[in-house]
Chain A
C-alpha cells in the first residue's frame, strides 16, 4: 500500500465497519419495515437487505408475521418472489392476500430435515433471485448461520430467520436480532443486536388484526361471546 493516500475517514466509510457509538448510516440497502417507530431504530431505516435478520418471538402467534406484512406486501407488489422455507404451518392465502401480499409471488419450500432447510435457505439467498427469504431453521449452529450470512451478502433480499427465544443469549452472525413479546394490546419489539449502538428500550407497535383492535380491555367479554356461540347466529354465512 506504499504511496497510497490513507484516510481514516475513508476507512470508516466501508460498509462492513460500523462504529459502536452511532447508528450506521445507510451504507447497506434496506427495505422499510412499514412501522415508522421501528424504522427509526433500525440502521439504514429498515430491514437490512443482503443480511440475516433473526426474529425471536416469545411464542408463536403473537404477531411475528404481521410485523413483516408491510415489507412483504411491498416486495411482492414489485413482482419479487418471496421464498418461505420450512414454515411451521400452511401460510393461509386469504389472510396474506388481505394483508396486501400478492400470493402469486409466494414460493413455499417444504423440507424433510433441518439440513434440507439450511440447504434450501442457502440456495435461495445465494441465487439472489428472491425479494425476501423467510426461513424456519431448527437448531442451527453458529457455523451454519455464518454460512447463511455469507450467502446473503451482496444479495438484494432481506433474510428473516424465525427462531426460538431461547437462542437470544447465544451469539449469532445475524446483522439484526429482534425479540418479540406482547404487552397488553401490542407487540414489544426488543432489538438485541443491530449495527450500531444497542437499543435500551423496546419499541411498542400495535400490530393487531383490525377485528380485535381496541378490544384489549374487554376482559369481561368472553362469557358473552361464548354464549353467543351457542345461541344466536351472529354473522351468518350460509350458502
Chain B
C-alpha cells in the first residue's frame, strides 16, 4: 500500500522508517532470551527464530505450557509473534511464513500439511514464482505432483532440495545461536518520557530479556546498569548492585522501581538500555519434597537490596569487633557479615553512645539524671598514644536513680566524667 493511500484510510497514522539494524538486534535479543528453553536456537533472518524443543518438552511440562511461557515472555518484552511447529526446521519456518499457527508432531502428517501451503514460502526469486503460476502451480502439493526431472530441469535442483529438506529427506544443518558473554539491550521509546516511574514499564521489557538470557546461561549477575539516553545531554546511568547474584526478573523490577521512584529527571528520556557485564554461575534452588507450612523463607540478600534501593546503600550495615582497647574502636559499624573475632573484653554495654556525654559532678559523685551509684570498676584503659588519639580513662559500671545501668568513665587527665554506654 502506498503511503498516500494509507494516510487517506488512517489520517492519524504514524510513519516510521524501517530500521534493519534494529530489527536484527531485536531478533538476536529474542534468540538470547529464548535460549533458556533449549540450547539449540537458530536464527532465520530477518524475522524468525527456530527452537529445537523436542528435548525440552518434558522439562517445561509439555508443548502447551512451553508455548504459553514463550507467548507470555514475548508479550512481556513487547513482541507479538506467530508460532508454528514441525519435525523439521524448514517445515516449521514455512508454516510460520504461511501464517499457519499449526503444530505437527508425527512425520507422516508433515507432507499433507505442507501440500496446502502456497509456493510463496519457497525461497526463490519472483521469476520462478511467476513461472510456477504460469503453469498453474499454486501450492506445494501441486508442485510436488509434477515429475521431479522436469522440475529440476526447469527450475533447478535447488527447489527440489529445499523441498526434501523440509520433509526431512535431506539433512538441514543449522548454525546454532551462541549468546554473547555480556548482556546488552536497548529500546528506543516511542515518545520522550519525562517521568522516571513511567520508564519502569519500558525497563521491564529489558529486564525480562535479561532474565531469559541469564537463565539460558544458568548464570546470575551482581550488577546491572540502566542507562537513560537524553536528546542532547549526557546519559543518566543507574547502577544497581546486588548482595548476591540473581536472575529474578521480579526482584530486578522491584529494585529498579525503588530507584526510579527516587529519581528526578533533568531531561526527558529518549531511549533506555540495560547492561550486565559479569555473568557468574548461579544454581537453581531445589524445591523441598514436602510442601512447607507458612511463607517460604525469603532471601535475605533480596531484603537488603530492597532496603538499600530505597533508603540508600550506607543505611544498611553490620557491626564488627576489633582487637582494640579503646572502646569506641573495639566495636564499630562495618560491612555486612564481617567476621567475628574471638576477643575477650571486660563487661561491656549493649549500647555505645556515638559520642561520650559529659556528666556533671556533684560532691565527687558523677550525676546523670541524679547521682550515679558506682557498682563495678574501675577498669583502666590507657591506649592509643601512638596515633594522637590516646585515651586515659577509668571505666565504671554505674546505676542510675531509675535503676538503669550505664557505663561511665573518668577522663584521668582532666578529671571529668563521661557517659559512654548503656547496658540495656
Contacts and interface: CB of A to CB of B under 8 A. Distances in A.
Interface of A: 50, 58-66, 81, 83, 87-99, 102-112, 116, 119-120, 123-124, 127-130, 154-156, 182, 184, 208-212, 215, 218-219, 221-223, 225-226, 228-230, 233-239
A236 B383 CA distance: 11
A90 B351 contact: yes
Contacts of A223: 364-365
Contacts of A91: 319, 350-351
A119 B3 CA distance: 55
A34 to B, nearest CB: 15
A228 B303 contact: no
B68 interface: no
A237 B383 contact: yes
Contact of B403 (A62, A210, A234, A237): A62
A60 B410 CA distance: 22
A109 B316 contact: yes
Given A60-B422, A94-B343, A212-B375, A109 B351 contact: no
A116 B394 CA distance: 39
Interface residues of B, number: 76
B300 interface: yes
Interface string B343-359: 11111111111100000
A212 B376 contact: yes
B315 interface: yes
Contacts of A87: 351
Contact of A221 (B299, B347, B374, B404): B374
B380 A89 contact: no
Given A104-B318, A111-B311, A237 B422 contact: no
A61 B321 contact: no
B307 A120 contact: yes
Given A116-B311, A156-B297, A123 B350 contact: no
A43 to B, nearest CB: 18
Given A123-B306, A182-B402, A221-B373, 6 more contacts: A92-B348, A93-B320, A93-B331, A97-B340, A106-B319, A222-B372
A28 to B, nearest CB: 10
Given A89-B352, A92-B352, A110-B315, A155 B295 contact: yes
Interface in B314-351: 314-321, 325, 327, 330-333, 336-341, 343-351
Given A60-B404, A66-B423, A234 B331 contact: no
A60 B379 CA distance: 23
20 contacts: A61-B406, A61-B424, A81-B300, A83-B303, A92-B327, A93-B320, A93-B321, A96-B350, A103-B320, A104-B337, A104-B340, A107-B317, A107-B318, A108-B319, A209-B347, A211-B346, A211-B397, A225-B376, A230-B410, A237-B383
Specify which of A95, A129, A219, A237 lies most central, judged by the most chain B CB atoms within 10 Å of its CB: A95
A110 B307 CA distance: 10
Contacts of B318: 103-104, 106-108
B313 to A, nearest CB: 12
Contacts of B423: 61, 63, 66, 209
A184 B403 CA distance: 8
Contact of A225 (B339, B377, B415): B377
B348 A108 contact: no
A27 B372 CA distance: 46
